[in-house]
Chains A and B, each alone.
Chain A
Amino acid sequence: MKAIKEKHSLAMRWCHWVNFPILTIMIWSGMLIYWANDEYSFTIFGHTFFRFFPDWFYHALKIPHRLAEGMAFHFLFMWFFTLNGFFYILYTLISGEWRELVPQKKSFKEAWLVLLHDLHIRKMAPPQKKYNAAQRIAYTAIIVMAIGSVITGLAIYKPVQFYYLTWLCGGYHFARIIHFALTLGYVFFFLIHIMQVILAGWNNFRSVISGFEIVNDTPKPAIQKIDKDEHPG
């Protein structure tokens, strides 16, 4: 029999959907800023495999010569990004939902099994509650990354007033590299996330908007037939 099962709280859904456009704007305006000194590349033993970013990429997204504009957007939406994240963390702590989210000891072992299962290598996925082991790791990592973005961001935004943050991030250069790498991390997360959401299907996706899932509970009969051969204890 079908039944409604509550899944995502309103606060979680709100934070999730508010974050999506804000993070998009932060990444876009961040690229407008990065363009003015685009020194990063993927280079191993002197061979450059990929330059961040190729010209076609900049032109396709109309990135060049918009540093001032990028900064103006970035330094407005940083407030919303930080406040929304702060509210989400506060909520998960107060509501106790962090227990469903934070990886457990077994999560790191189980995450491999989840991965093998998702890749159709292993048939059975380990039993889970709201989130499986891989989700626990991913959804906690994304929060740690967000905190990292705020800290490295402040470290390069006000390296004098927040000199201790700059020091903590390994200096101005390294802070900027981490800030950039975390952004690549978000894009990577987004790609996997979208793929998983598509694979998980409508019921799962809907729950992030409406809050509930429809589950098929096979009701247990009130009177159980007992086979003569069996002797239930």
Chain B
Amino acid sequence: MSTPDKKKTQKEPTLQQKINRRNFISFSTFTVLAASAYGGWRWLYNSPQEEAGGITGGAHKPLRRALNKTELFFRRLFSNNHLVKTYPRSRAAKNVRTNSYIGIEPSKKFDPAEWRLNVVKKGGEILKVSMEEIMALPKTEIIYDFKCVEGWDQIQHWAGVRFIDFVKHYQLDDYAKMEYVGMETPDKSYYVGLDMPSALHPQTLLAYEMNDKPITLPHGAPLRLIIPVKYGIKNLKRIGTITFSNTRPRDYWAEAGYDYYSGL
């Protein structure tokens, strides 16, 4: 049945029709967007974790990609001219916080007298450096606010050789052109990976003194990393081995869901 007359007599929509039409469009758009936002959230929240055994782990895959992209952005802002704020000696903590014993557990046998720093060079050659040799290098001290990824911080006083001075003295310049430095405890159970610019930052130290005294075992004796441009998780205690590479070295906390860069 055709109704040609009705079409001809189509009127201007009434006010109520206008209202209904706009309500319909806006509310259905809103509902669709809200539902897709919720769906997107569920997708992200339930997104798969990174596969075990990789350099990074423990995070949702899309979130890890985001962390890595965000790292690229903030690395552009990194500069050796951006120095960590330093404090007078009087501000340094007397009781320096020991947060973790990973890799330096008191139950583990360790003789500081037999310790040597192993720098792995090309072709598997290992440069062995003693504590005396390290202490013969120019000493630099720093009193700064050590920051933990957990959110606490403490003003601490450390001294040692700047990593850049160490690299220059042992003519590791070719290695310093690579992209990453890896450091591990002698028992290899704690390990960190550092991007080269952060490692060569003028305030990065291979430290052997704390509050003008030799570092104690719980704080990483005989030699530990103090890298003020990173969170505490990167400040490896009791350095056993140093390696250089163009790919990310393994990193203890990056395997546990933390940002690989962890720069400040």
Contacts and interface: CB of A to CB of B under 8 A. Distances in A.
A159 interface: yes
B15 A4 contact: yes
Interface in A67-91: 67-69, 71-73, 75-76, 79
Contact of A206 (B23, B37, B149): B23
Interface string A134-165: 00000000000000000000000011111100
B63 A72 contact: yes
Nearest to B84: A160
Interface bracket on A: 35 or more
Contact of A158 (B63, B145, B153, B263): B263
A58 to B, nearest CB: 15
A4 B26 CA distance: 15
Interface stretch (A48-56, A122-130, A207-215): A207-215
Contact of A36 (B33, B60, B151, B257): B151
A162 B79 CA distance: 11
B229 A76 contact: no
A216 to B, nearest CB: 12
B6 interface: no
Given A36-B151, A72-B259, A210 B74 contact: no
Interface stretch (B64-72, B166-174, B234-242): B64-72
A181 interface: no
A98 to B, nearest CB: 24
Interface string B222-264: 0000001100000000000000000000000100111100011
Contact of A172 (B26, B58, B60, B147): B147
Contact of B151 (A21, A33, A72, A73): A33
B151 A160 contact: no
Contacts of B263: 158, 160-161
Interface in B123-148: 145, 147-148
A17 interface: yes
A3 interface: yes
Given A21-B41, A73-B63, A75-B70, A163 B82 contact: yes
Contacts, number: 98
B22 interface: yes
Best-surrounded residue of A33, A161, A163 (most CB of chain B within 10 A): A161
B177 interface: no
Contacts of B33: 17
A2 interface: yes
Contacts of A176: 151
Main secondary structure of the interface of A (DSSP, over half): helix
Nearest to A211: B26
Nearest to B22: A210
Contact of B67 (A37, A72, A162, A214): A72
Contacts of B22: 4, 210-212
Contact of B149 (A34, A67, A162): A67
A161 B74 contact: yes
Interface string A18-42: 0001000100000001101101000
Listed residue (A34, A75, A160, A206) with the most chain B CB atoms within 10 angstroms of its CB: A160
Going nearest first, the 10 A-B pairs with the smallest beta carbon separation are A37-B151, A68-B257, A210-B26, A72-B63, A36-B150, A76-B66, A160-B264, A161-B77, A37-B152, A68-B258
18 contacts: A4-B15, A37-B151, A39-B151, A67-B150, A69-B63, A69-B257, A72-B66, A72-B259, A75-B67, A158-B264, A160-B228, A160-B263, A161-B74, A161-B79, A163-B83, A206-B23, A210-B22, A214-B19
